[in-house]
């Protein structure tokens, strides 16, 4: 799977995640799991609704989420990362 990052994702990752080494490690583990099996139950992957209905999300921790867009069968674009309140 090809995983691309939007500039806003990179900015928010640096601001919200990078300073916490525990979150960085969890992020790396979950991205690896997502790349191998995007439907793994641990990820809690789901489609969003309303104005974001073309987007999907999966969990890094209980509150930290990644919002992404499926570009093609094997390509996704990471759009945002942060707490539930920050990304929705």
| Beta pairing class for 46-47 and 2-5 | unpaired
- Mean pLDDT score, 29-54: 94
Helix (H, G, I), strand (E, B) or coil at 70: strand
What does the pLDDT look like over 67-85, one tens digit per residue? 999 999 899 999 999 999 9
Q: Are 15 and 8 in contact (CB under 8 A)?
A: no
DSSP character at residue 72: E
- What average pLDDT is seen over the chain? 95
**CA max distance for the chain:** 34
Domain boundaries, the chain: 2-83
pLDDT of residue 60: 96
Q: How is domain 2-83 classified at the architecture level of CATH? A: 2-Layer Sandwich (3.30)
- Using CA atoms, how far apart are residues 20 and 8, in angstroms rounded to an integer? 19
pLDDT of residue 27: 96
Indicate whether 88 pLDDT > 90: no
């Amino acid at each position: 799977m090809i995983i691309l990052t939007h500039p806003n994702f990179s900015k928010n990752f640096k601001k919200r995640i990078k300073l916490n080494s525990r979150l960085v490690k969890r992020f790396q583990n979950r991205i690896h799991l997502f790349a191998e099996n995007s439907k793994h139950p641990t990820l809690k992957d789901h489609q969003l609704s309303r104005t974001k209905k073309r987007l999907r999300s999966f969990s890094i921790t209980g509150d930290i989420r990644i919002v992404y867009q499926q570009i093609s069968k094997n390509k996704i674009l990471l759009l945002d990362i942060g707490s539930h309140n920050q990304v929705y």
